[in-house]
């Protein structure tokens, strides 16, 4: 049985939902780690982002169809459970929670590393604890207050991307742009577009897809929007348009401003591009933007995982205490427990500050692609469930059903298969596989036997 919370006033609006989605998608990794993807694929990274965009559309429109007709807390977990049975509902629920925790861990580590440059005497673990406490406190606010905070955080990083696009375009119209000059000198053609071959394109895909990961938080937010059947499809459409426009324009400008071979992995490609244009004072400003991006992504992720934990608890697949809500509808103990796990990431930051970020990001990427595969296949199956239940038909129909969902699942699986091509990503893949195995062990040894005894 799906859990439906009591109605409450002042839920998330369309703009709030779009900002929540952008907050979850645009994290520190986009501003820093994507430089590695550009170095691996060259100009073909634009194709990688386009492929990821196709998968993004498939995931979001599938979620919109399911969430608009059944805005159930637990979102994709509820849909998977009703489509394929309790095993997949349990697995996707805990894999989503794990993916969210890993995302939070990577973002809090990034935030601590950035802040450490300003507060050099503060230990990394203390900075991680501080940011963990701040974000947990924000998530104790009611939905309306949370939405306003997230709107503010998301606006900063969206504005930063827009400013980069406009600044780069201005210099390009005035004859600047070493990347454009290099393209003119080298010429165009397939060999120039794929300088590292298909292997390089494949190697860039996990990092590119991780830049899209986290969008499924909108399904978790659906029950807390104003009038979900009307709001969810509109915010999904706005989110798709916003993400694809920002990403494709930003990386097109990046490649035209600075030759891709000049990018140094580990440093922000956007800062390097602006410095190539002669704007050498942007480093400190962009450090603040990356910090904001990390905190915004952290905030959105905690919102999603706490709602998932509440849904698991309602079905007896997590401690019952996690169902408890405040009068404002905030899952009190789910937020507290997820925030505590986030605080434990401070220990990781203390022991392995730089190595932890790469490991956690790659493991999170694996789990995110697993989640996208399940979402896509669930959507194919769940439409018939909705049609049987709703005599009036679907509230919203996803585009290209079922082919787009099947293509999205194929893209996600293909990205998982390319993981060994990326140096340093294999340990993260193994962490994700071990996590999947542990969730299954818990289900078959503890949850399934208990369900049979009922």
Q: Is residue 454 part of a domain?
A: no
Query: What does pTM read for this prediction?
Result: 0.89
Q: Which of 73, 74, 75 is nearest to 65 (CA)?
A: 75
Q: Is residue 316 part of a domain?
A: yes
Is pLDDT above 60 for 52? Answer: yes
pLDDT given for residue 349 in this prediction:
54
Q: Is the C-alpha dihedral spanning 168, 172, 177, 179 positive or negative?
A: positive
- Spacing of C-alpha 384 from chain mean position: 28
- Per-residue confidence at 5, pLDDT binned at 50, 70, 90? very low
Q: Is residue 281 part of a domain?
A: yes
Is pLDDT above 50 for 8? Answer: no
Q: How many residues does the chain have?
A: 454
Q: How far apart are CA 43 and CA 259, in angstroms?
A: 9
Mean pLDDT of 417-444: 82
Q: How far apart are CA 116 and CA 122, in angstroms?
A: 7
Q: Is residue 356 part of a domain?
A: yes
Q: Is residue 8 part of a domain?
A: no
Checking phi first, is residue 296 left (phi over 0); if not, alpha (psi -120 to 50) or beta? alpha
Checking phi first, is residue 265 left (phi over 0); if not, alpha (psi -120 to 50) or beta? beta
Number of domain units in the chain = 1
Helix (H) / strand (E) element for 426: namely helix 426-442
pLDDT given for residue 7 in this prediction:
42
pLDDT in tens, 439-453: 999 999 988 887 665
- Per-residue confidence at 111, pLDDT binned at 50, 70, 90? confident
Question: Residue 109 belongs to what domain range?
Answer: 14-448
Q: Is residue 371 part of a domain?
A: yes
Is pLDDT above 50 for 49? Answer: yes
Q: Is residue 265 part of a domain?
A: yes
Token output for 274: 């602006």
What's the CATH number where 44 sits? Answer: 1.20.1740.10
Strand partners, 430: none
Cis bond before residue 367 (omega within 30° of 0): no
Q: Is residue 9 part of a domain?
A: no
Q: Which residues of 391-403 are buried (b: 16+ CB within 10 A; e: fewer)?
A: eeebbbebeebee
């Amino acid at each position: 049985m799906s859990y439906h919370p009591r109605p409450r006033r002042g839920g998330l609006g369309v703009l709030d939902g779009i900002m929540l989605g952008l907050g979850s998608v645009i994290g520190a990794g986009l501003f820093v780690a994507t430089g590695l993807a550009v170095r691996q694929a060259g100009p073909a990274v634009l194709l990688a982002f386009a492929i990821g965009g196709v998968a993004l559309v498939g995931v979001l429109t599938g979620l919109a169809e399911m969430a608009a007709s059944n805005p159930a807390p637990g979102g994709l977990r509820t849909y998977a459970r009703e489509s394929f049975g309790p095993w997949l509902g349990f697995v996707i629920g805990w894999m989503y929670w794990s993916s969210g925790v890993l995302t939070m861990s990577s973002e809090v580590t990034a935030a601590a590393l950035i802040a450490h440059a300003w507060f050099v005497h503060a230990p990394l673990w203390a900075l991680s604890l501080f940011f963990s406490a701040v974000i947990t406190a924000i998530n104790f606010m009611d939905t309306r207050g949370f939405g306003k905070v997230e709107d503010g955080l998301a606006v900063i990083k969206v504005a930063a991307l827009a400013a980069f696009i406009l600044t780069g375009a201005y210099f390009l119209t005035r004859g600047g742009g070493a990347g454009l000059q290099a393209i003119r000198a080298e010429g165009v053609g397939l060999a120039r577009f794929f300088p590292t071959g298909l292997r390089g394109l494949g190697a860039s895909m996990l990092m590119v897809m991780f830049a899209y990961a986290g969008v499924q938080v909108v399904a978790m937010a659906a029950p807390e929007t104003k009038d979900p059947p009307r709001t969810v499809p509109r915010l999904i459409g706005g989110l798709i348009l916003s993400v694809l426009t920002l990403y494709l324009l930003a990386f097109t400008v990046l490649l035209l401003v600075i030759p891709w071979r000049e990018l140094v992995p580990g440093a922000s490609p956007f800062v390097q591009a602006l410095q190539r244009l002669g704007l050498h004072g942007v480093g400190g400003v962009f450090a603040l933007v990356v910090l904001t991006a990390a905190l915004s992504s952290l905030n959105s992720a905690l919102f999603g995982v706490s709602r998932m934990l509440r849904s698991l608890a309602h079905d007896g697949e997590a401690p019952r205490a996690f169902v408890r809500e405040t009068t404002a509808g905030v899952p009190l103990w789910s937020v507290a427990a997820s925030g505590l796990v986030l605080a434990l990431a401070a220990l990781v930051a203390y022991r392995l500050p730089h190595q932890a970020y790469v490991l956690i990001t790659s493991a999170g990427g694996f789990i995110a692609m697993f989640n996208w595969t399940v979402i896509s296949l669930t959507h194919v199956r769940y439409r018939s469930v909705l049609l049987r239940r709703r005599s009036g038909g679907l509230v919203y129909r996803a585009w290209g059903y079922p082919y787009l969902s099947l293509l999205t699942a194929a893209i996600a699986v293909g990205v998982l298969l390319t993981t060994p091509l990326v140096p340093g990503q294999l340990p993260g893949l193994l962490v994700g596989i071990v996590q999947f195995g542990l969730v299954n062990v818990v289900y078959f040894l503890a949850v399934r036997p208990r369900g049979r005894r009922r």
